[in-house]
Structures are given as C-alpha cells and as structure tokens.
Structure 1
Amino acid sequence: MTEHSAPDTRKIIHVDMDAFYASVEQRDDPSLRGKPLAVGGSAKRGVVAAASYEARKFGVKSAMPGVTARRRCPQLLFVKPRFEVYRAVSRQLHLIFARYTDFIEPLSLDEAYLDVTADIAGIGSATAIAEAIRGDIRTELQLTASAGVSYNKFIAKVASDQNKPDGVFVVRPTEGADFVAGLPARRFYGVGPRTAERMSALGIQTGADIRAQSLIFLEQHFGKSAQYLYRASRGEDYRAVRPDRERKSIGGERTYAEDLTADSDLRDALEHIVDIVWERIAANQARGRTVTLKVKYADFQQITRARSVSPAVDSREGFEQLSRELLNALLPVVKGVRLLGLTLSTLEPAEELSRHEGEGIAEPRPVQESLAF
C-alpha cells in the first residue's frame, strides 16, 4: 500500500477499549456492575481471559489461572466468555472509527490504530477526533475507551495506556523524544522480564539509557531488536497505519474443566478445536504452511509442536491431518492435559517496527509540527 501521509506529519490515534470483555459483560448484566469479575476460567480450572478493573485492584490479571485469581480475590465472580457478542461489538466499534478515517488497522477485537491525518470529518485536531470517537463509544455502546494520540504508532500505543481507564494522552512531535526517554525500558515492545533483567545488568533502566547506547552495542546485546530499540528510543517509528495488514496466524485453544488423559478424549478434544479454528480460517480465506499444536499439562508445563508443508494448507482435511499427526506423536500422555490449541501460520515476514521501507539508520531530523494535535 502506498504511504498515505509523510512520517513527520502523521496524526495517529491508538484506541484501546477498557477491560473489553469484562466491560461488555457488566454492561449486559447490571448485577455484575461494580463487582470484581473474571471472564473465562473458574475458581478451580481454566485461565482468566479478562478481568474487570474491580478485580484488577486485587491483582487479578488476564492469563492468570482461575485458582490463583480466586485466591487473590475470594469474592471474584467468573462468567463464561461470549465471543460472538464481543465480535459483534467490535464490528460496531469499527463502524464508529470509519466515520473519522479510512485508515484503520485493527490489532484485536478491542484495539486499533487510526491515521486521522486527513481529518475527513473536519474536526480540526487529532485530540478532538479521539474525544469524538470516545464519546460515540460511550453513547452508542455504553462502554469506555482510552486513546493515545501522537505522530507515530509506537508512541500512540504506549500513550493509550497512560491515562487508563477512560482517558486520553497526547504526545506531540516536539515531545516525542523526551516522552520516550522517560519510559521504563520494559515498556518497549519485546522487552519482557528476561530482556529487562539483561538490560538492568547493563545499567539500562529507561528509554534514555537505551538512547545512550550505540547501535553496535545494541546489536551485540539484543540482536535483531537493536534497530528497533535504536529508533524507538529516539521517538522514531516510520510504519504507516495499514488497513490491509495481513494476519500472521489464525488459531484457537481450549482449557478443560478436568484434565484429559485418555487418547480418545484427547483426539475428540482436538477435533473440536479443528472445527473452531477452521471456521476462522475459512472466514478469512487464509492459507498457511505451518500448523502448530499447543499443549499445556496439568502441572502447567507447556509445549508446542509444529509442522511446515508446501504447498500451503488450503483444506480442512489437510489441516485436520497435520493436527492429528502432531497430537499422535505425543500419545500416550504421561500426565493430564489441561489445554489444547491449534494455529495455522502464514509465515509472512514480520513487519519491522524499526525501519521505513528502503531506509537505513539516519540521524534524527528536526521535527516540524505542521498539523494540529
């Protein structure tokens, strides 16, 4: 896709719904409002898919085992996820976005990048557009959203988390480098606990500490992430908002109320997941060359097994056959299985955050704030 606006003049909004699944459940069931709520899992089994802000006060988080969540919050209420409802609300959300821009890049059901540089609604500033969108969401969907407004995707996404829930945070082009300098290193993409520990051992705690390092130093210690860290620590990100951004994978998984141990039970469970995932694959008219099986055992040990083929998988039968072969290679299981998941990957090369197409590392250029924020 052709770049629709120059990197230095973009106005980008990252919209992120607040506790989306949990908020939808509280909206639709007034008895749940104001109470600590977990979507998914249960007090004994499963994993929390989302937690209300009332539950987060107790330390309940998404991807946390249900038993841990209940231990942290004894009064926690569990509800089953209703993904068909969340998808319907997401479609309504995107209709709202489309009033303000043609450039919408969804990241998930509840968040998206919007390039509003063109200001097709004639509102006058990116901040005003963000407030208008949040107002429409509140009025029409009875939900709240937070937004980050900036001149690039990296900063807009980080900014959307600054005033959560139900807030807006704006970072103008002249403020970007200073804003990034003050960020903890762990707020950068790809900096998980282990990378953060390595950074700490090197004396790197903040964005300013990253910026103080040479590109060579970053390449020596962080490999492929070096260019991204080098650019991002200077407030640079040249990626455009891409409405035609392709999926890298499509998958699904299920956590079971009781551990599965019998071969027949595991095969039946796999067939169910094949049905679920293939429906999503067909809906997206996707083809992929790699099928990955995810298994989580009763003791929470997790493994994945994958197979790649050529030509790409383009039929349910082919997807099912590869899935069965991956599972059969693990049978019989010694310990119970609590979760199974399947993913079809297209093996498209990951988009590089740190590089503009055809462009190498360059010295930072003077910022000219030519459009209203």
Structure 2
Amino acid sequence: MRERAEEASILHIDVDAFFVSVELLDKPELRGRPAVVAHETGRSVVTSATYEARALGIHSAMPLARAQRLCPGLLVLAPHMEKYAAASRVIMDIFRDITPQVEPLSIDEAFLDVSGARRLFGSPTKIAQIVRQRVHQATGLTCSVGGGASKFVAKVASQRAKPNGVLVVHPTRTLEFLHPLPVKALWGVGTVTNENLRRLGIHTIGELAQIPLHALQSALGEVSAQHLHDLARGHDARSVQSTREEKSISSELTFEYDVADPEVIRQKLLQLSLRVAARLRHLGVAARTVGIKIRWHDFRTVTRSRTLVQPTSVGQQIYAETVAAFEGLSARGQHIRLVGVRAENLLGAEAAEIALWDPYEQWRGVEAVMDDTARRFGRHTVTTASLLRDTGRMVDPRTIEGPGTGAEH
C-alpha cells in the first residue's frame, strides 16, 4: 500500500509514440513529418503514428490503406520488434533505478510508486523530470508523465501531458482536475456506456459525481455504476503492484489474404502454439486450458477452448489441442482472416510433472533445446521443419503475449 496517500506519489510514465519514435532515432531527417509504423501490405494496420500524423486523424489500429488516404504522402516505416524490446528494457531499468515499486502496463508504459524515493530524489514532480531526462539521455526518446494520489488520476494526467510533458495533480486538487473532463476519460467508459450516460444528461465527470448512485445503478448495473461513481469522486484504492501474475498467454496473426486451405491454418496454429509454449516456459508456468480464435473473412469471430487432464507447456501438445478445436468448427472451405492461440488457467510448471506417463516427453526435450538455442543465438535460429514452407504471410507485427498489451499512446 502507498505510504502517504496525501501526496501525489503515483506516477504514470508513457513513452511518446514509442514504436515510430524508435524507428526515427536513426532517421533524423524524417522527423517532423507524418509517419507510421506498419507493414506496407494490403491488410496492414497502423501500429504507431507520429503526432504529425495524428493531427491528420491517423491513429494506431487504423487500416494502413485508410491512413494513406488521409495523408497521401504518409511515410510508412517497417516494424522492428527487437529494437522496441531493447529500448523497453533500458527504460524499465531506469524506472527501477528510481524505485522498486514499478508496475509495467505494456512495453512502453508503467506505474511507479515513488513515495519511498522522495527522500533521495525529491518531490514527485522532480522525480518525473529526472526520469524523463534519464530516458532521453539513454535512448533519445521522450516520455510524458502524470502524477496523482491514485493510479487513475496519474493515468489521466499523463494523457493530458502528452506529448513530452509533465502534469502532477496534487491530491487536494484531484476533483478540480477531474470534474471538467468528459466522462469517456473514465476507465470503463466505452461507446455503449458513454451513450447510456448521455441519455441521462451526463457529459462530464463532475456531472457523473453528482448523480445519485441508485440512479446510476438503474442505468448501468450495480458493479459498473459503483466503479464509475468511485472514480468520479477521485476514489481509487488500487496500489502499484511490482509483480503481476499473468492469467493467460496468447498469440495471433492476420493473413494478408483470406485463407481457406486447412493445411495453411494448421501450419499457423503450430507456429502460434510453439510461440505460446515458449512464453509459458519462460515464465515457469503451464496451462490447464488452451484454445483458438478464428476470425472469418466477414469479421465474424469465434473462440473455442479445451481443458487438459494435465497442465502443459509443450508446444506440440498445445498444437494438437488447437488443431482438434479447429477441426471441430466444420470450417472446411470457409475463408479465414485471422487465427490465434491462447493458453489459460496457468499453474506453476511443477504441475506439469505429475503424470506418470507423458506422451509428449520427447517433444518436451526438443523444445527445451529450442529454448536454449533461442537464448543463445536468437529467436528465429531454430524451428520445426514444417514451418519452413512459405504458406502465408503475417502482416500485423503486434503479437499479443499476456495481459497489458494495449494500444500505444
């Protein structure tokens, strides 16, 4: 728990336009121009956009084709995930040099509880400036920092500080800061909830704070109403969690062209299963439930899951289950846009060692060798032979692995 809730001791730090900013580090001549990170293919989506591009209405997750219509001269930069991972490690290490109380939210943002760092570094505002300076010196990147007495206030403040700014809200001014903001700034207010609130005549956080809770519950339900009512009044008791238990691991890909060949789908399920399994082993956990996600050409999406008798972190076993789930969909002849593999109900890896007879024991050893080789020489230096055929191309560079992989800011 926070030591002094009367201080703005929670910081939310978010690197500005992370992916595209990393790409521009060695292309200074392109700075100041509308640019995005994306694969330049028919179905690619924007992964990251410069603020010059955002001013034209371009944002992450937008189809690249639409972004290029908005800006015919748009610069399209190919993604390099290894660069982003390396920069993220440097940035997170800087955060942890300030305080051990760091809760990463994604590759480019985190909460910091700096209540214990004030004696060494000074006020939260001073700490925010120190962090920004160190990040820029070490990486050339800029970040925006918000501060407050709670995680919610810090997160909202960092968004208002963008780009490349600091906004620390003193606890005594929390309501003064929050109440003029639109209700969509609240965590949990999406399109549907926002429309429901508009029907009640509620447009700002301040108006939401004034409405009786029972009236809000009638419109939104008990749980959602209580959550939003608390936030609107500046109440958020959640503390920074320096360690977070992952509840699921998933990976998915989008095809450049719709695919109907089941052999291609099976090959991609193998690729994704091996990737998810490697992540499970890296975290020292095993999955009791595995499943698939299929998105058809018309954007209908289905998911199927299968619970295992024994938890596993073996890619070949995950693959066998996902293929069985896929074949149970009666998908023959249907065109598929996206496939995904997910592992859930995670347990300690020792749970996978209970079985007296393990039909995947040999594969367990093979994949352990693959892990070792990947650590020593890189992730793509060894794979199964069946993945060497070029049967489809992944165009979305973002691989979802675990919770907290959100859109970039």
- TM-score normalised per structure 1: 0.86
Instruction: Give 1:336's aligned residue.
Output: 335
Pair 1:321-2:320 in alignment: yes
Aligned AA (2:255): Y
282-291 vs 207-216, which moves further: 282-291
Structure 2 stretches lacking a partner, 5+ long: 348-409
Measure how far apart 1:124 and its partner are: 1.5
Measure how far apart 1:286 and its partner are: 2.9
Q: 1:209 to 1:286 in 2, by over 3 A?
A: farther
Instruction: Give 1:304's aligned residue.
Output: 303
Q: How many residues align?
A: 346
Instruction: Give 2:239's aligned residue.
Output: 240
SS in 2 for 1:64: coil
Instruction: Give 1:99's aligned residue.
Output: 97
**Which whole-Å CA distance do the structure 1 matches of 2:346 and 2:204 have between them?**
33
SS in 1 for 2:211: coil
Measure how far apart 1:309 and its partner are: 4.6
**Which whole-Å CA distance do the structure 2 matches of 1:51 and 1:139 have between them?**
23
Q: 1:139 to 1:319 in 2, by over 3 A?
A: same
Bigger fraction of residues in helix: 2
Q: 1:279 to 1:121 in 2, by over 3 A?
A: farther
- Assess if the C-alpha contact under 8 Å between 1:43 and 1:78 holds in 2: no
Measure how far apart 1:196 and its partner are: 0.6
After superposition, the C-alpha distances for 1:212-271 in whole angstroms (9 at most, x for unaligned) are 123333333223222211211111111111101222322222122222111111111221
Aligned AA (1:298): H
**Which whole-Å CA distance do the structure 2 matches of 1:130 and 1:110 have between them?**
16
**Which whole-Å CA distance do the structure 2 matches of 1:202 and 1:289 have between them?**
44
Aligned AA (2:299): F
Structure 1 stretches lacking a partner, 5+ long: 349-373
- TM-score normalised per structure 2: 0.79
**Which whole-Å CA distance do the structure 2 matches of 1:308 and 1:181 have between them?**
46
**Which whole-Å CA distance do the structure 1 matches of 2:4 and 2:310 have between them?**
38
How is 1:100-115 mapped onto 2 (pairs within 5 angstroms)?
Answer: 100-115=98-113
299-308 vs 156-165, which moves further: 299-308
1:194 counterpart (192, 195, 198): 192
Measure how far apart 1:6 and its partner are: 4.6
**Which whole-Å CA distance do the structure 2 matches of 1:154 and 1:217 have between them?**
24
Aligned AA (2:86): A
Q: 1:198 to 1:311 in 2, by over 3 A?
A: farther
SS in 1 for 2:226: helix
Say which one has the larger Rg. Answer: 2
**Which whole-Å CA distance do the structure 1 matches of 2:186 and 2:62 have between them?**
22
Instruction: Give 2:387's aligned residue.
Output: none
1:23 counterpart (21, 33, 45): 21
Kindly, what percent of the aligned residue pairs are identical?
Answer: 37
2:132 counterpart (124, 134, 138): 134
- Assess if the C-alpha contact under 8 Å between 1:181 and 1:233 holds in 2: yes
**Which whole-Å CA distance do the structure 2 matches of 1:146 and 1:75 have between them?**
28
Instruction: Give 1:89's aligned residue.
Output: 87
Measure how far apart 1:326 and its partner are: 2.5
**Which whole-Å CA distance do the structure 2 matches of 1:201 and 1:180 have between them?**
21
After superposition, the C-alpha distances for 1:318-364 in whole angstroms (9 at most, x for unaligned) are 3223322232223435542222222223489xxxxxxxxxxxxxxxx
209-218 vs 149-158, which moves further: 209-218
Instruction: Give 2:230's aligned residue.
Output: 231
Q: 1:207 to 1:25 in 2, by over 3 A?
A: same
Instruction: Give 2:293's aligned residue.
Output: 294
SS in 1 for 2:329: coil
**Which whole-Å CA distance do the structure 1 matches of 2:177 and 2:309 have between them?**
46
After superposition, the C-alpha distances for 1:17-69 in whole angstroms (9 at most, x for unaligned) are 10101110111333543332222343522222222222212212111122222
RMSD between aligned residues: 2.2
Instruction: Give 1:367's aligned residue.
Output: none
- Assess if the C-alpha contact under 8 Å between 1:7 and 1:238 holds in 2: no
Measure how far apart 1:160 and its partner are: 0.2
- Assess if the C-alpha contact under 8 Å between 1:39 and 1:81 holds in 2: yes
